Structure formats: C-alpha cells, structure tokens
Structure 1
Amino acid sequence: MRIALLLSACLFCLNAQAAPVDVASLDRGTWPEKLGSPALFDVASRAEILMFSRSLLASEALDEPALKQRLGLKIINLAALDDLRRQLWKRLLANYTFAQQSCEEDASFCYLVESMDDLREQAGKLELSEDSFYIGWAAPSHAFHERYLNELLRKAALFPQISSEVARFGDHERNGDEFNDRLFLLTFDGGPAAVGGNTDWLTDYLRKQKMNATFFVLGSSLQTRVERSSASDVQALYQGQCVGTQGWQYRSHSHWVDWQSSITRSATLAQNLMPENYVPQFRPPYGQRRADSQGFFQSQGLQVALWDIDSQDEPGKLKADESAQRVLTLMLLWRKGVIVFHDTQDRARLALPMLLHETAQSGLGWQDCREAFR
C-alpha cells in the first residue's frame, strides 16, 4: 500500500509539474524614494498592494485551460485556487486599510477604499501617467507581481497533493497571520552550517543588533556540529536565539515513511542540547507535510511553523541583493509575517544587513522569537 501511494504521488508530481515559474525579484532602485519614515513606508506599501491587486484581479478572468497554460501545469486544483484568491483579497484589504492611515502626511497612492469592491475598483483603474514621479517603478513592479502571483497560484493549484506554505491544514499550523501590522519574524532554515560558517556569522550579527530569530535546524547537521566542536560551543552559538527543528534531513516529510521519527529524533536532540533556546516548532522542508498529521503534531506538543515571505536565497535562484530586494518588496506588500532565509547560504549573511539598512527608519518591529506563535 505504501509503495502504491508513493508511486501515485510521484506520478501526480510528474504530470502536474512542468516548466518552473520564474522567481520574482524587483530592483528597489526603481522606487524613487527611500523608506525613510513610517509614512514613506506606507506610500510604497500602498503602491505594491495596488499593483499586486491589479494582477490578482486580472487573473480572475482566466478560465481553466488558460490557467493551466499560464502556470505550466496539466492538472490544477480550482477549489484551492479560489480559496487562495479569497484569502489574498482579505489580507490585501486589511493591509491597504493600515497603509492609508498616513494619507494625511503623504497622499500618494491614496484612494477611497472602504470595502473589497472599492479595492478591486481602484486596482482595476491603476495606471500611472508618463510624467508620474513613480513611472520608472510601474513596469518593473507589474512584472514582479505577475511572477510572484504565478508562484502563489502554482502552489495553490498543486495543493494538497503537493503541500506548501500557501495553505494551512489546521490551527496547529502558524504563519504569522496573527502578528500586528509592521511586525516581522526572522527565521533561518537548513542549519547549522560548518564551524565558523554562516550560522556563526548570523547569530553573532543578530546579537550585535540586539535582535533574535528562530533557527530551524536539521538533526543530522546539529549532531555533526556537536561532534566537530562541543555541546557548549553549540549552546554558545545559539545564545539569545530560538531553535526549532526541520527534521533529521532536509527532505520532504509528506511521503517519507520515517517522517515521524525524523521529527521526534531531531526535536529531542535540540531540546536536550539547548533547553533554554528550544521552541516546539517544526518547519517542514519545502513546506511539504502530510494533510493527516495534525494528531501527531498535537500529541508531540509541536506547532508547524510556516512562512509567508520567502527570500529565494537557495543556490540557483536569486543573488544576495536580489533576495534582499524581494524580501523588502514582500514586506511592503504583506506588512507583517514570517521571513525565511537559509543560514547555510552566503546570500543570507549579505542580504540581511541590506534589509535592515533599508528598513531602519521605516517604523517596523521585529517579533521576539520567544513570543512568536504562543
């Protein structure tokens, strides 16, 4: 039975997945203003919300064959797509409502939006004149949001056969939806890196900035790090930070026979090694986990920790500056949430300082990792 299910899942993946979607990034240099105050952050936020809403609205005119062609898929889940669109519109309206609170200070991209119909109407009418102060941003932003929307729609179209971060299976799964406006949580996946590597640099940098983050570790990498240094060195490495788990190996936990053992084994190691840093959270590699796993996670006292702002900093994707600019654009769009980097990658140690520099005067807050998802 297990072999049959695995073969069925693999067959679906082969049939469903065709050409990969281009990863979206936006050169923030096309935006003519620094995010030098909370009000200027709001101006840029309103602009990105309206531009994404414009793309989302246009996508609703596509029928099933057109969606399959656009997403490069042979099979799509229309119900999941519709559900994602509803969730996106709900969040976009809430975000624009927050972003327009500073319209008295700067009226750029301020329109009367009091309802979902208002937002849809304004998004449909969005157009910048050739002499607009923001005209250089318009076309690159539109291209970014078309690509980013494709990323989201493609994941929804494959859900739940291929699970991802775009939808939750239950209340045991968290993604920062409940955070306050302008509040973000930093997270890092796939570590720890080798002794003296990127994890060392990032944890030290965060401590110097008086910040913390949640590091989701792989059990095998953590055990290797202990063996090649010491338990006390690893405890010092994560001082002031939070440590969750990604399982024993960085592989999908949706069709892996030993997925439960992978999680419990790595969680036990992290908790015993660093009881003061450990948080009972599991970050599924690739966002993939089983639809029927809620009972297991609840029995283990674990929450599934998803994300909604991905840096795409893995090898073969974005460069460090592109990753930082993607994250910043998504921060403007979503205005709160969980940011994911990979602490085994050089891109993360380059992108994070860029991101903090660009947002230093924007009135943002960084969620204490010990308070997240409590």
Structure 2
Amino acid sequence: MSRHRELAAACVALAAITAAWAAAVLLPAPAHAAPSASVGPAVVAKADLSLWPEAIDQRAGYDKASRAAILVYVGVLGEMRKLSDADMMAAFSIKSVNRASTDKWLQRELEQATANYRAAAAKCAEGSANKDWTCQATLPPSPQDFSSAAIEWQARVPSASAAWRANLAAFSRAYLGEQMRLAALFPKISSEIDRFGDNEWTGDTLPDGQFLLSFDDGPTPPGGSTDETLRMLAAQQRNAVFFMLGGNLQARASKLGAPALAQAYQGQCVASHGWEHQSHARWDGWQDSVRRTQALLQASFGKDQVMPWFRPPYGQRTADSGAFFTEQGLQVALWNLDSQDWNARVTAADVTDRMVTLMLIKRHGVMLFHDVHAKAFVALPTLFAKVGEAVVWRDCHAGPR
C-alpha cells in the first residue's frame, strides 16, 4: 500500500472513532466507583494475539514479537505524524489543537519506540536479517530515519503474516489516535499524556522489560471484585498498587474494621485516588479530598503499605498543583499502559490482547486496571501465562523509579 493510501486509511480510521472519543475523553465520564462497567468509546484499540504464530513466554520469542510490533507501530506513527490540525480537529471532534503538545508527544513516542526496538534487537545475531525479517542489519542513526525505514521494512513481512500485520496496523492507528487526542487537548484538559513537573511519573522511565501493576477506584464492598482481585494476585504471587477512593475505603472499613482491612491487602501497596471520583482540575475541594484520603489511609494501613503517591481521577489535575503535593510529601502517579477495562464494550479477552500488545510495543511501564470491575482478575492470569518469564513484574514497594 502506498504512503498516500496509508495516510487515507489512517484518516478513515480516526473518523470512525470521533464521536466515541468525544464522549469518553473530552466530556467528564461517569465515576468508575460503581462495580458495573461504564459505556465508553465505541471503538477502542484492540488486537488479536492469536494472529502472531509464535510463543512469547520466553525472552527470545518476546523480543522477536516486540521487534515485529514496533516496526509496524513506528511505520503507522510516521503516517499519523502527517495529519494536519484540520485533520485532527475533524477526526477528534475538537475545536482546536495544541500542536506543540501533539508534536512533543509524537516525537517522544518515536524516540521511545526507537530505543525499544534497539533493546529488542540487542541479541539479533550478525547476518540474522536474512533469516528473521524483524532483525534489521543496520539501524538508521536517528528516530526520524527509523520511522521512514520502518515503513520500507514492512515490505519484508512474510505473506503468511499479512493478517497479523493488518491487525497490528489497525490497532496502532486506533491507539495512536487515542493518545494524539489526549495530546491535542493537553494542558487544557490534563491527562496521563504528559507531566507538569518532576514530581509526576508515568512509568516511561522503568527499565526495559519491567512492569508495575496498578488498580484504581476501589475498594468494593466485602465480597466484591476487589476481593476477587486480591485473591487472584495472591494466587499468582504478584502485587500491585491500589489507588483507593476515600469514600469507598471508609465504607469498607466501617464493615470490616482496620485490622481485617490491612490483612486483606497484605503484601500489596495502597495509595490515594482522592475522596471521590471527580476531576481534581475542576473541583474546588480537591485539596481537602487529598488530605482526607491520605489521613484515612494512614489510619487504616501500616506504614509499609501506604505509598506516598496520589493518582488523580481521569489523570486530571491543575498545572500549578505541584507545590501542594510536594508539601504533602506526595508524588503524582500516572500511567502509560491503559487497559480500558472499565469500558463495557471491552471484554476480558480484549483486555489481555490489548495489554500484551502494548507490552510488546512499550516494553516497560505502569499498567492501569480497575478493581471495581470484574475483567482484570479474569484477564491477568491469561496475560501472566502469555508473557511467562519474558518480563519482570516490579514489586509495588519499589515504585516506578
């Protein structure tokens, strides 16, 4: 397919997502505190991992799949960079585009993808390009050159992998559209797409091959999906950071008591998500929300469980909030791998395939799930099995840095 046709396909794909994104990102979404899923974007980036024919549960297989995914992703990224402001306003259904923010994100994403490919190709043997199309003999000197070369290299994708390539390209266009829309709106509407300062983190700086699990919006009442999630993590010998809403925590603590509550989260980490699930960029009481939740966490859990982090609902916070969080001894905890598990149109199988695909492309980061929904505790055991020993699951107590 020619570059012109690739760009046209990208525009068509973006147009199909327009109305759905407007409801899910531009407008305030329903609070995710309820156990039932919310209706989110009609089109979400989804992948079909069954189209990739080889196992990825060992590092060599994981790296090969990662190289392949990154080459396709970077090729699509190169085409998406050509979208004009008018293209983006039409596709994203927004009235203006912060071009500087969008260009900054696109450049950073290209630089990270280039570094990720280099990491995935570190053990490509000399001359292996003749036997493995994902191993390129000579890497271009700059990310921009890599972007152009990736489009050309895709001609080497075996015909037997054509369906996989088409699926991964469609996933890449949809995912890049999700992220570019956030970048186009930033900082007017803040999100995880960018940081306001060094006191904020996303997961982009984790070492290659390392991932940190996180869950938002809990806890549920006793017997709900939070308990299922905790049992699943214990069975899988994994831990995670649970970013709790103070109101939900207070309700659960009133039924269980502090000792039982702390015992339920033994080995896990807890942190603040504010008192209730509303945007902290539009709420006059956001500082009190942070203080109240932090005090309740300290009263409910031991010091080894409470992490000095705050995750803003929707990732939204004020640009000048850094001084307040520093005074409170808190860092703003964002993410860079979004499962979309709150979306009623996304199944547990979709969550698994989406997140494993992002793991192959991103190769490190903080993963966002929600323990108030039932998909993560179903999806994650399958995800763990798929990637096997190929990655490292970071201890939540070590944090993202």
User: What is the TM-score normalised by the length of structure 1?
Assistant: 0.92
Does the aligned pair in 2 maintain the 1:128–1:135 contact within 8 Å? no
Deviations 1:74-103 (A, max 9, x none): 211111001101110110111011010122
Question: Distance in 2 between the 1:33 and 1:318 partners?
Answer: 25
Question: Distance in 1 between the 2:158 and 2:261 partners?
Answer: 56
1:341 is the counterpart of 2:373: no
> 265, 271, 288: which is aligned to 1:238?
265
Question: Distance in 1 between the 2:253 and 2:241 partners?
Answer: 19
Q: Structure 1 residues 207 and 17 mapped into 2: Cα distance closer, same or farther (>3 Å)?
A: closer
Which residue is equivalent to 1:217?
A: 244
Which residue is equivalent to 1:94?
A: 115
1:36 is the counterpart of 2:57: yes
Which residue is equivalent to 1:8?
A: none
Which residue is equivalent to 2:351?
A: 323
Output the amino acid matched with 1:335. Answer: R
Which residue is equivalent to 1:310?
A: 338
1:183 is the counterpart of 2:210: yes
- Superposition deviation, residue 292 in structure 1: 0.6
Deviations 1:221-269 (A, max 9, x none): 0000011222111111110000001000011111100000001100110
> 377, 380, 386: which is aligned to 1:352?
380
- Name structure 1 gaps, 5 residues minimum: 1-12
2:295 is paired with a residue whose SS is: helix
1:194 is paired with a residue whose SS is: coil
Aligned length: 360
Output the amino acid matched with 1:30. Answer: L
Which residue is equivalent to 1:107?
A: 132
Does the aligned pair in 2 maintain the 1:32–1:133 contact within 8 Å? no
- Name structure 2 gaps, 5 residues minimum: 1-21, 28-39
Question: Distance in 2 between the 1:339 and 1:195 partners?
Answer: 25
Deviations 1:154-207 (A, max 9, x none): 000000011010100000001122211000000000101110122112222222
Question: Distance in 2 between the 1:151 and 1:299 partners?
Answer: 34
Q: Structure 1 residues 239 and 20 mapped into 2: Cα distance closer, same or farther (>3 Å)?
A: closer
Question: Distance in 1 between the 2:156 and 2:239 partners?
Answer: 43
Q: How does 1:49-198 map to 2 (within 5 A)?
A: 49-104=70-125, 107-111=132-136, 112-115=138-141, 116-128=143-155, 132-198=159-225
Output the amino acid matched with 2:294. Answer: A
Question: Distance in 1 between the 2:320 and 2:156 partners?
Answer: 51
Does the aligned pair in 1 maintain the 2:335–2:366 contact within 8 Å? yes
Does the aligned pair in 2 maintain the 1:282–1:303 contact within 8 Å? yes
Output the amino acid matched with 2:248. Answer: S
Q: Percent identity?
A: 39
- Superposition deviation, residue 278 in structure 1: 0.3
- Superposition deviation, residue 20 in structure 1: 5.5
Does the aligned pair in 1 maintain the 2:77–2:147 contact within 8 Å? no
Q: Structure 1 residues 17 and 339 mapped into 2: Cα distance closer, same or farther (>3 Å)?
A: closer
Does the aligned pair in 2 maintain the 1:281–1:303 contact within 8 Å? yes
Q: Structure 1 residues 217 and 205 mapped into 2: Cα distance closer, same or farther (>3 Å)?
A: same
* Range 171-180 or range 103-112, more displaced: 103-112
> 301, 310, 313: which is aligned to 1:282?
310
- Superposition deviation, residue 346 in structure 1: 0.7
Q: Structure 1 residues 287 and 317 mapped into 2: Cα distance closer, same or farther (>3 Å)?
A: farther
Question: Distance in 1 between the 2:157 and 2:253 partners?
Answer: 59
Question: Distance in 2 between the 1:83 and 1:282 partners?
Answer: 25
Question: Distance in 2 between the 1:252 and 1:140 partners?
Answer: 34
Deviations 1:49-90 (A, max 9, x none): 111111111122222212222222221111100110111011
Does the aligned pair in 2 maintain the 1:21–1:151 contact within 8 Å? no
1:191 is paired with a residue whose SS is: coil
Which residue is equivalent to 1:10?
A: none
Output the amino acid matched with 2:139. Answer: V
Does the aligned pair in 1 maintain the 2:214–2:242 contact within 8 Å? yes
Question: Distance in 1 between the 2:62 and 2:119 partners?
Answer: 11
Question: Distance in 2 between the 1:183 and 1:240 partners?
Answer: 19
Output the amino acid matched with 1:56. Answer: L
Output the amino acid matched with 1:196. Answer: G
Question: Distance in 2 between the 1:131 and 1:216 partners?
Answer: 44
Question: Distance in 2 between the 1:92 and 1:108 partners?
Answer: 18
* Range 46-55 or range 329-338, more displaced: 46-55
Which residue is equivalent to 2:299?
A: 272
> 279, 285, 300: which is aligned to 1:258?
285
Question: Distance in 1 between the 2:298 and 2:153 partners?
Answer: 51
Q: Structure 1 residues 156 and 21 mapped into 2: Cα distance closer, same or farther (>3 Å)?
A: farther
* Range 122-131 or range 30-39, more displaced: 122-131
Question: Distance in 1 between the 2:305 and 2:97 partners?
Answer: 41
Question: Distance in 1 between the 2:69 and 2:158 partners?
Answer: 19
- Superposition deviation, residue 341 in structure 1: 0.5
Question: Distance in 2 between the 1:247 and 1:321 partners?
Answer: 30
* Range 316-325 or range 119-128, more displaced: 119-128
User: What is the TM-score normalised by the length of structure 2?
Assistant: 0.86
Does the aligned pair in 2 maintain the 1:128–1:138 contact within 8 Å? no
